Structure 1
Amino acid sequence: MKYTAAFRIWHWLNAIVVLGLVGTVLLRKGFLSYRTNSEIIMTKLTDMGVDIFKEDAVAIAKAIRAPMWEWHLILGYALAFLVVYRIALLFFDKSQKEPFSTLNIHKKGVKALHYILYGALLFMTISGFALYLKEALELTEAMAKSIKETHELVYNYFLFFIPLHIAGVVVADIREEHGMISSMINGRETTKEV
């Protein structure tokens, strides 16, 4: 298979943006968790002889992670652009058109996972902006909560897809589609093992 420059640009930009978005969430739940950091702030200030209310420590911890959420939003705009770009590629990039019926079972599974990925990207873009614009959209608290829970649930797909995709590409490159990885970089045709 040969990948066009337009598809390769989308692929690598999408990889950077998705990894960035996943990274901001992992930071939020890990190093920048306001619950953990507010406890650290309270403990350290108490050790220094400064008393602080828990609410104030939480406010400080949330302020520390605020720039990370600015990056999440910027990357969200980039993802929205890339979703539109990918939709355009579906119509204009004919190099990716292999009839589904002609594929073997493995290729059908891979293609299905990619379609799920595209659906997940579209959903995450729409739901993310719905949450960001919840006041302008006049979403009820219950609706916003439901969207947020589903947004967080779909996020888990990316935690599985990313390592599965990387491992699958490496295995395919080694076993049957030699040059697949370099083809995604330089655009040359892959060679199939017979």
Structure 2
Amino acid sequence: MPTPAATPVSTHDYSAPLRVWHWGNALLVLGQLITILFIKVIVKPKALVPEFQAAAAQHGGNLSKEQGMSIAHLLSERLWDWHIAIGLALASFWAYWLVLQLTAPAERRFTTRLVAAARYYRLAPPAEHPDARHALLAKLTYAAFYLFISVMVLTGLALTWADDVTWLHSMEHSVKEVHNVTMYLLIAFVVVHIVGVVWAELTKDHGLISRMVSGEK
């Protein structure tokens, strides 16, 4: 029985719906990371209190530590409100991606393209192995990202309503740990992804970024 021929696999999907999801998702993830940066690094309540007290003293006021902590916590809560709002928008984009995957033609679905990449890698002749390996690794990194973003969204939603749902509240600590670890994995992916895109743009795949903007191949 003849061995089926290996078919090269396109690494990228430049369809308009996926481009909308890609850039919208990128902005929302960036927004999430910025709010975390402010909450965890810039707007740290204990570190801000002395600054509030010093500012009040310059204007002849007297701010107690408790009052300063209240103001700092208020700022932190407002940032958390932004974090939650962006997270809900991110969840909407995640649902949008799921709809795209369920309604797109079979050949455009990610699972189909991942299986095709694996098949291409398995059947490709030696001369095509580098391209086949690149296509498969690209698909596997996307699979990792989709997993990370799914975990982030689901755990984020669980944390959002943990105080209102008893069974979610009982596992809040564990969910928060998973959410935080996944955040670091997502940051690592973003860094690797940006480096990979820039490297591809400058070497073998000129015009990659413009194609992801315009969709023109």
Q: Same fold (TM over 0.5)?
A: yes
Partner of 1:67: 78
What is the alpha-carbon distance in structure 2 between the residues aligned to residue 140 and residue 11 of structure 1? 30
- Aligned pair in 2 of structure 1 residues 91, 65: CA closer, same or farther (>3 Å)? same
- 2:35 matches 1:21: no
Residue 3 of structure 1 contacts residue 183 of structure 1 at CA under 8 Å; is this kept in 2? yes
Partner of 1:179: 207
Partner of 2:175: 147
> Where do 5+ consecutive residues of structure 1 fail to align?
190-194
The root-mean-square deviation of aligned C-alpha atoms, in Å, is: 2.1
Please give the residue correspondences for 1:44-83 in structure 2 after superposition, counting only pairs within 5 Å: 44-45=55-56, 48=60, 50-52=62-64, 54-83=65-94
What is the alpha-carbon distance in structure 1 between the residues aligned to residue 178 and residue 13 of structure 2? 36
> Where do 5+ consecutive residues of structure 2 fail to align?
1-11, 122-131
| Aligned residue pair count | 188
Aligned with 1:85 (options 73, 81, 96) = 96
TM-score (norm: length of structure 1): 0.86
Partner of 2:3: none
Residue 2 of structure 1 contacts residue 183 of structure 1 at CA under 8 Å; is this kept in 2? no
Question: Percent of counterpart pairs with the same letter?
Answer: 28
Partner of 2:158: 130
Residue 169 of structure 1 contacts residue 180 of structure 1 at CA under 8 Å; is this kept in 2? yes
Aligned with 1:12 (options 16, 23, 38) = 23
Partner of 1:157: 185
Partner of 2:126: none
What is the alpha-carbon distance in structure 2 between the residues aligned to residue 36 and residue 110 of structure 1? 42
Aligned with 2:197 (options 143, 146, 169) = 169
What is the alpha-carbon distance in structure 1 between the residues aligned to residue 88 and residue 13 of structure 2? 29
What is the alpha-carbon distance in structure 2 between the residues aligned to residue 182 and residue 85 of structure 1? 23
TM-score (norm: length of structure 2): 0.77
